[in-house]
Amino acid sequence: MTGPNVSEVTDHCNVSNAATYEVLAWVVVVQFVLGLPLNLSVLYVFIFRFKFWKNRSVFLFNIVAADFLLVACLPSKAYSYTLGQRRNPNYSLCKAMHFMLFLNRGASIAFLVTLSLDRYFNVVHLGRRNFVKALKKSPQISVVIWLLLLPLAIPATLQTFECCNSLGRNGTYNQNITDIFRETVFFTQIILPFIVLLYCTVCIVHRLKKKTVGEKAKLRRAMYVVVSVVVIFSVCFLPSTVARVALLTVRIRGWEEMEEVVVQFYDALMVLSYTDCLLDPLVYCFCYSGFKDAYLDTFCPAFLYQRLRKDGTQTTTNTTTTSKGRSTSLPMIEKLQV
């Protein structure tokens, strides 16, 4: 390994239980094997069949792009675990991987929350000017969001994030400031969006209870979108956040024996957070039924697609029968949006 402060970085990066990290390495490999073709196929549909730039789904495409970049980082993580280390042994590559992981994580969260806010304004404040809808139509806004996320990913490259050697280990003043800033970014990136999502979900459900039967089918789709995002947060992001609190607590208190156990739980839950790239396609299906039709039409065998479409037609409500005559490759987004 090369780079500055080598001894500081490597002190606590060797794994304490090789068997645990062998299992985690295989889990990451499975995520990569499943996530790569899934996200490549979703990218293909968004670009060549769904034509996201015409269907006002630029934000969804950015979530797909973030997931794909996350999947591209997974082989490095699996390789590190097989070597018995908690991060890549190459200092420069380690920093690059952390930067990419944090950037893509932040982008996925930002665009998922923006999508939920759009559904919230369309349901709870229907009739008022929805600034989110105006923003999501512009590719330039997506570029701005990526640029704003760049500074938030930089703290992960200042010191090795997993090993976190200085915080609670009598580090220098500058090291402590760096660690505190990094941890603040990490927790804020998860906790604030989750509070926003919970608020949007409660408001949409409350609004749904007040609506008449004829309006509920459309609003229920909006509720599914927001609830699916909350589920992704609850499964992928919140557990690692709680584990991070436990890890920092035992380190600050100096409980070294307990730290060895907590570190393994934290790393396992961080690996669980990478499952986000496998769950996000559910959000796309809830957002636009046309995406699901285009995906099945592209990758399912003809006989299976016809059977699925026939079964879906039999259970379709009156609110969706107007979509029968459209081409699956070019869904009518305006009629499907909430």
Alpha helices in 45-86 (DSSP H): 58-82
> In angstroms, how far is the first alpha carbon of the chain from the final one?
52
Q: How far apart are CA 116 and CA 231, in angstroms?
A: 13
**SS3 for 14?**
strand
CATH class of 6-291: mainly alpha
CA angle 162, 91, 158 (to 5 degrees): 60
Rounded to whole angstroms, the Cα distance separating 124 from 338 reads: 11
Euclidean distance between CA atoms 206 and 302, whole angstroms? 41
- What pLDDT score does 306 carry? 64
| Ranges 97-106, 216-225, 291-300, most confident | 97-106
CA 81 to chain centre: 22
Structure token pair of residue 59: 């934000």
Question: What is the per-residue pLDDT for 189?
Answer: 86
Per-state percent for the chain, helix, strand, coil, to nearest 5 = 75, 0, 20
Least confident of 76-80, 186-190, 217-221, 319-323: 319-323
Taking only the tens place, the pLDDT of each residue in 3-56 is 444 334 434 677 778 888 899 999 999 999 999 999 999 888 888 887 777 766
**CA-closest candidate to residue 277, choices 35, 109, 33:** 35
The 8-class DSSP code of residue 322 comes to G
pLDDT of 40: 92
- Cα separation, 190 vs 169, in Å, equals 25
CB-based contact 182:174 (threshold 8 Å):
no
User: Which one, of 92, 68, 242, lies nearest residue 157 by Cα?
Assistant: 92
CB atoms within 10 A of CB 143: 11
Where do the domains of the chain lie? 6-291
Phi-psi region of 87 (alpha: psi -120 to 50; beta: other; left: phi over 0): beta
Classified as helix, coil or strand, 84 is: coil
Contact between residue 167 and residue 179 where contact means Cβ atoms under 8 Å apart: yes
pLDDT digits (tens, 9 = 90+) for 224-282: 888 888 888 888 899 999 998 898 888 888 787 888 888 889 889 999 999 998 988 88
Partners of 242 in the beta sheet? none
